[in-house]
Structures are given as structure tokens and as C-alpha cells.
């Protein structure tokens, strides 16, 4: 049944295509010269049918669920929803849906069974309505397109206008995505700040979203002071950069200036492999190898090290970022013109001096751009920290302690139940908002620096 509208649509498009080509041929066989080739008349009809009808079908399918849900909830007998919060209402909706799907648990009330029957009826009505609408609209469009066929009709321009429109749509999807992100985060964040004061979130130093352990906690669900979470992200990102920046820069310098050609050709792709390893693999590597190694080393020098230290998570994240920084730095170093290198060498600089005193300083803007992008990656990186960092938020900057991170909290708060009005879930969106804003600022800034730098030496 879900496929029917699509099948009808494709059929209608094919029919329209064929009819228009026939019509155009007929005109030409009468000896009249066509403005556009027959194929374009056919394509015109095809596109004219597919584009609007497909949009219609997709919109219908996307909105159907919500509309039916409204109708269903409104049709429930008076009183059954009284006094329930929205979470419980959602639960009832879900139960009715699963009954309609044939999965009955326990013995539901009669009104739920009736509602389930109504739900099935609504769905069928909607499906039939959709089929009827698709048939009517497609037929009308085929007819309209056929009416357009004439010797002087500019079918090619018509087709090209439609394709151009489609391409603009494709480009605009990127904007829609951004709007979607901003809208989703904003709505949920505003809801969150209605439950928890902004100042508490931004400046509070106590983060206990799960367990209400004391009476005096703000919002009965827990405490939402995000400072220790932010601090944890900063600590882990710092560890990552302390590993990645020197290693990345030094290897870029070596590869760019000193490495024999063959060595460079082999090593560069190997380093790229590090960038291609999925982060979940790094996460597992952290808990399988790195964390135990750090712990063991700590014990051997008499330190008591937690099993999920910022050092392990940050260190592994640093390994992931090495190729990122080294390839950015390599590009930046390569962009420094040969004339500057020649200038330094001709003065009698050694290659090392040329690199460190002339080429590297000249490449710093580009390198800074790359490092900033790496920073944004580090604070947005999720899987490594989810797997290797801790869950408890602590106010500490000791990398040997277990700390948590913004992304860890987002994931742990959202795994499991997702009622959209409890502060726990909403807190994840507020954290997501902070993460999005922070990375956005860094990215815009970094991309601008990188672009400016490229312009200097282009």
C-alpha cells in the first residue's frame, strides 16, 4: 500500500513522456519544424509530473503520522487522559499503535482496542485518499503537459528551468539542514531553560542529572550545573592536542622538507589510514589497550590511576588527530612559495634553519587554521570519550582523574527513554546547543583563516 502512490506516479510519468513524444512526432511528420526535439517534449511531461507529485507524496507521508495521531488522541473518550503528563500520554499513544500493529501485551482497556481499530481505519483512509489524490493530480499534469506540445513550444527551456529548479533545491537542502539543526536545538533548549535557569546551567558546578540525592537540589530531577562537564571536555581536548599538535607538526615538517620522495610516498597514505579508522574503533582501542597500559604504568610508579582517565581518552583522540594536523600543516608548508625557500638557502641557511625560521613562520596562519579545526573536532568527538571517559562530572583538571565530557553526557542522557519534556533529555539538547555554537564559532574562524592564507600565496 505504501508503494502504490509511487508506482502510480512512475506510470503516470512514463505515460506522459510517451504521449508527448507521440504528439511531437505527429507535428513533425506534418512537416512543421519543431522548436525543441521530441525528447524534450517527453522529458517536459515527465518532470512536470514527477516533481510536484513526488513532493506531494513525501509531504503527505511525512505529515500523515502527526495528523493521524492528533485525530486519534482527540477521538479518545473524555476523561481518560485527564491528569496525565505528556509522557504518559505518549505512552498511551505508543500502546495503541502497538495494538494496531498486532502486538498486544496484557489485557488493554476496551477504549484502547477501539482506538486501535480507529487508528487502522484512519491509516487506510489516508492511504486511499493519497492514491486518489495522486491519480487525479498526475492525470491533470499529464493532460496539461500534453496541451503544451506545439511546434513553437520551447520544451528544452522548460526542461532546463525545471532541472535548474531541482538543482537549486539540492543546494538549499544544505541550508535546510542547518536550519533544522538550529531549530531543533533551539526549541528543546528553550524548553530546558524553562525548567532549569540559564544561570544554573552555565555557572553551576554540580552536574547530577540522573540521581536526585539531596532535598535542596534545583529541579527535583537532579542538578544541571554544566561547568564540570565543559571542564571535562576542555581537559580531554587539551590532552588530545598536546599529543596531536607536536607529533603532527613534526611529522609534517619532516615529510615536507627532509623525507626522501619514496619515503614520503609510502608514509603519507599510512598516516591517512589513522584518519580513516572509525572512532568507535579508537574507543575500543582505548579501553582494550591504552587505559590498562596507563593504569599499569601508574601503579608501577605508585600512582593510583582511574580506569577511565582523561589521559587515555585524550591520548587516543590525539592519535586520531595526528593525520588531520599533519596533512593540514603539510599543505600549509607546501603553499609557501619556493622563492622564499630559495631566498633562505641562498643566504646560507641550512635546510633546518630555512624550515624553522622562514617556511614554518610563513605557514603559521594556515597551520593555526588547521589546529583550530582539530580543536573543534576534539570537542565534538563522541565515541572515544563515550567509551573511554567517565560518566561522573568532576571539577578537576587532573588528566589522571576520570572526567566526563559534553558529548558523553549528550549520549548517555539520550540513550534509553526519550520523553521530550523531562529536564534530563532536554539537558542533552542544551549541551548540544553549546557544542554546536562552540564548534561553529571555531569553524567559521578557522575556515576564514585558512581561506585568507590560501589567498596570500595564490
Partner 1 sequence: MTDITPSDARPTSRGTATEAVRRSLARRNRKQLVLQGFGIAAIILAISMLLILLTSIISTGYHAFTQTHIQLEVYVDPEEIPAEGLPRGGFDDVLAAAMGAHFPAVDLTDRAATRELTSILSNGAQFILRDKVVADPSLIGQTVTLKVPVSDAYDQLNKGLVQRDTAEQFRRVDDAAIARFDRLDELGLISTPLNTALITNADSRFPELAGLKGALIGSFWALLTCFLISFPLGIGAAIYLEEFAPKNRFSDFIEININNLAAVPSVVFGLLALAVFIGWFGLPRSAPFVGGLTLALMTMPTIIIATRAALKSVPPSIREAALGVGASKHQVVFQHVLPLAMPGILTGTIIGLAQALGETAPLLLIGMNAFITSAPGSPFDSATALPTQIFIWADSPERGFVSRTSAAILVLLTFLIMMNALAIFLRNRFERKW
Partner 2 sequence: MDDLRQHLQVAGDEEVKISARNCQVFYGDTHAIKDVDVDILDKTVTAFIGPSGCGKSTFLRCLNRMNDTIDVARVEGEILMDGENIYDKKVDPVQLRAKVGMVFQKPNPFPKSIYDNVSYGPKIHGLARNKAELDEIVERSLRRAALWDEVKDRLQTPGTGLSGGQQQRLCIARAVATEPEVLLMDEPASALDPIATAQIEELIDELKQNYSVVIVTHSMQQAARVSQKTAFFHLGNLVEYDDTGTIFTNPQDPRTESYITGRIG
Contacts with partner 2 in 345-374 (CB under 8 A)? Answer: 345-350, 353, 357-358, 361-362
Query: Residue 207 — φ and ψ, nearest 5°?
Result: -120, 100
Q: Which stretch binds partner 1 (CB under 8 A): 4-12, 61-69, 197-205, 233-241?
A: 61-69
Binding partner selected for residue 358 from partner 2, partner 1, none, CB under the kind-specific 5 to 8 Å limit: partner 2
- What minimum distance in Å lies between the beta carbon of 350 and partner 2? 5
Residue 100 near partner 1 by CB under 8 A? no
Number of Cβ within 10 Å of residue 65's Cβ equals 12
Residues 322-361 that bind partner 1 (CB under 8 A): 322-323, 326, 348, 350-353, 355-356
Nearer to partner 2, 302 or 348 (CB): 348
Q: Which stretch binds partner 1 (CB under 8 A): 124-132, 140-148, 221-229, 380-388?
A: 380-388
Number of Cβ within 10 Å of residue 32's Cβ equals 11
- What minimum distance in Å lies between the beta carbon of 138 and partner 1? 21
3-state secondary structure of 169: helix
**Cα distance between residue 165 and residue 48, in whole Å:** 12
Nearer to partner 1, 311 or 428 (CB): 428
- Residue corresponding to grid cell 588527530: 321
**Cα distance between residue 130 and residue 6, in whole Å:** 10
Nearer to partner 2, 83 or 348 (CB): 348
Residues 9-48 that bind partner 1 (CB under 8 A): none
Residue 259 near partner 2 by CB under 8 A? no
**Cα distance between residue 101 and residue 210, in whole Å:** 33
Alpha helices in 196-257, H assignment, sequence order? 198-203, 227-253
- Cβ(341)–Cβ(354) below 8 Å: yes
Nearer to partner 2, 30 or 339 (CB): 339
The closest alpha carbon to 44, from 22, 67, 21, 25, belongs to 21
Residues 6-25 that bind partner 2 (CB under 8 A): none
Measured over the CA atoms of residue 412, residue 418, residue 423 and residue 428, the dihedral's sign is: positive
- What minimum distance in Å lies between the beta carbon of 326 and partner 2? 22
3-state secondary structure of 418: coil
Among 280, 337, 415, 418, binds partner 2 (CB under 8 A): 337
Binding partner selected for residue 246 from partner 2, partner 1, none, CB under the kind-specific 5 to 8 Å limit: partner 1
Nearer to partner 1, 63 or 121 (CB): 63
Nearer to partner 1, 307 or 418 (CB): 418
Alpha helices in 101-154, H assignment, sequence order? 110-148
Residues 174-233 that bind partner 1 (CB under 8 A): 174-175, 177-178, 180-181, 183-185, 187-188
Among 24, 344, 410, 450, binds partner 2 (CB under 8 A): 344
- What minimum distance in Å lies between the beta carbon of 456 and partner 2? 8
What is the torsion angle, in degrees rounded to the nearest 10, for the CA atoms of residue 457, residue 251, residue 297 and residue 393?
A: 20
**Cα distance between residue 449 and residue 83, in whole Å:** 56
**Cα distance between residue 154 and residue 380, in whole Å:** 51
Number of residues that bind partner 2 (CB under 8 A): 19
Nearer to partner 2, 81 or 456 (CB): 456
Nearer to partner 2, 237 or 362 (CB): 362
Nearer to partner 1, 33 or 214 (CB): 33
Helix axes 155-195, 38-75, angle to 10 degrees: 30
Residue 251 near partner 1 by CB under 8 A? yes
Among 271, 294, 306, 393, binds partner 1 (CB under 8 A): 271
The count of C-alpha atoms lying within 13 angstroms of the C-alpha of 214, restricted to the half-sphere facing its C-beta, is: 7
- Residue corresponding to grid cell 484512519: 122
Residue 435 near partner 1 by CB under 8 A? yes
Q: Which stretch binds partner 1 (CB under 8 A): 59-67, 75-83, 124-132, 393-401?
A: 59-67
Residue 261 near partner 2 by CB under 8 A? yes
From the number of C-beta atoms within 10 Å of its C-beta (0-12, 13-18, 19+), residue 40 rates as buried
**Cα distance between residue 281 and residue 160, in whole Å:** 47
- What minimum distance in Å lies between the beta carbon of 323 and partner 2? 25
- What minimum distance in Å lies between the beta carbon of 245 and partner 1? 11
- Cβ(376)–Cβ(367) below 8 Å: no
Binding partner selected for residue 226 from partner 2, partner 1, none, CB under the kind-specific 5 to 8 Å limit: none
DSSP assigned state of 179: H
Which spans of this chain sit near partner 2 (rule: CB under 8 A)? Answer: 261, 337, 339-350, 353, 357-358, 361-362
Amino acid at each position: 500500500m505504501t508503494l502504490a502512490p509511487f508506482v502510480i506516479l512512475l506510470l503516470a510519468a512514463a505515460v506522459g513522456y510517451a504521449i508527448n513524444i507521440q504528439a511531437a512526432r505527429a507535428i513533425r511528420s506534418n512537416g512543421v519544424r519543431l522548436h525543441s526535439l521530441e525528447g524534450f517534449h517527453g522529458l517536459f511531461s515527465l518532470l512536470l509530473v514527477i516533481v510536484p507529485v513526488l513532493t506531494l507524496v513525501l509531504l503527505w507521508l511525512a505529515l500523515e503520522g502527526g495528523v493521524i495521531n492528533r485525530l486519534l488522541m482527540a477521538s479518545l473518550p473524555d476523561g481518560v487522559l485527564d491528569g496525565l503528563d505528556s509522557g504518559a500520554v505518549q505512552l498511551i499513544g505508543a500502546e495503541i499503535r502497538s495494538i494496531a500493529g498486532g502486538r498486544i501485551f496484557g489485557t488493554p482497556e476496551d477504549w484502547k482496542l477501539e482506538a486501535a481499530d480507529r487508528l487502522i481505519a484512519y491509516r487506510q483512509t489516508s492511504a486511499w485518499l493519497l492514491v486518489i489524490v495522486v491519480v487525479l493530480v498526475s492525470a491533470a499534469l499529464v493532460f496539461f503537459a500534453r496541451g503544451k506540445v506545439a511546434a513553437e513550444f520551447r520544451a528544452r527551456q522548460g526542461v532546463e528551468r525545471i532541472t535548474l529548479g531541482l538543482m537549486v533545491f539540492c543546494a538549499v537542502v544544505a541550508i535546510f539542514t542547518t536550519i533544522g539543526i538550529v531549530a531543533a536545538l533551539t526549541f528543546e533548549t528553550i524548553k530546558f531553560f524553562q525548567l532549569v535557569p540559564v544561570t544554573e546551567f552555565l555557572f553551576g558546578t554540580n552536574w547530577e542529572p540522573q540521581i536526585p540525592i539531596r532535598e535542596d537540589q534545583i529541579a527535583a530531577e537532579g542538578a544541571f550545573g554544566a561547568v564540570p562537564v565543559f571542564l571535562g571536555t576542555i581537559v580531554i581536548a587539551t590532552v588530545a592536542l598536546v599529543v596531536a599538535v607536536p607529533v603532527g607538526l613534526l611529522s609534517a615538517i619532516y615529510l615536507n622538507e627532509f623525507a626522501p620522495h619514496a619515503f614520503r610516498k609510502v608514509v603519507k597514505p599510512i598516516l591517512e589510514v589513522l584518519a580513516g579508522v572509525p572512532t568507535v574503533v579508537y574507543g575500543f582501542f582505548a579501553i582494550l589497550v591504552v587505559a590498562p597500559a596507563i593504569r599499569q604504568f601508574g601503579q608501577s610508579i605508585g600512582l593510583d590511576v582511574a580506569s577511565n582517565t582523561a589521559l587515555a581518552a585524550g591520548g587516543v583522540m590525539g592519535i586520531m588527530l595526528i593525520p588531520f594536523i599533519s596533512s593540514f600543516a603539510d599543505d600549509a608548508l607546501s603553499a609557501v612559495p619556493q622563492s622564499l625557500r630559495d631566498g633562505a638557502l641562498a643566504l646560507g641557511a641550512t635546510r633546518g634553519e630555512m624550515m624553522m625560521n622562514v617556511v614554518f613562520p610563513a605557514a603559521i596562519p594556515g597551520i593555526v587554521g588547521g589546529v583550530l579545526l582539530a580543536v573543534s573536532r576534539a570537542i565534538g568527538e563522541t565515541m572515544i570519550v563515550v567509551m573511554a571517559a567517565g560518566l561522573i562530572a568532576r571539577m578537576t583538571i587532573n588528566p589522571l582523574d576520570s572526567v566526563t565530557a559534553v558529548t558523553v553526557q549528550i549520549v548517555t542522557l539520550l540513550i534509553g527513554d526519550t520523553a521530550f519534556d523531562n529536564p534530563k533529555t532536554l539537558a542533552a539538547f542544551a549541551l548540544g546547543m553549546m557544542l554546536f555554537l562552540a564548534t561553529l564559532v571555531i569553524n567559521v574562524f578557522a575556515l576564514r583563516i585558512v581561506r585568507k592564507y590560501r589567498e596570500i600565496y595564490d
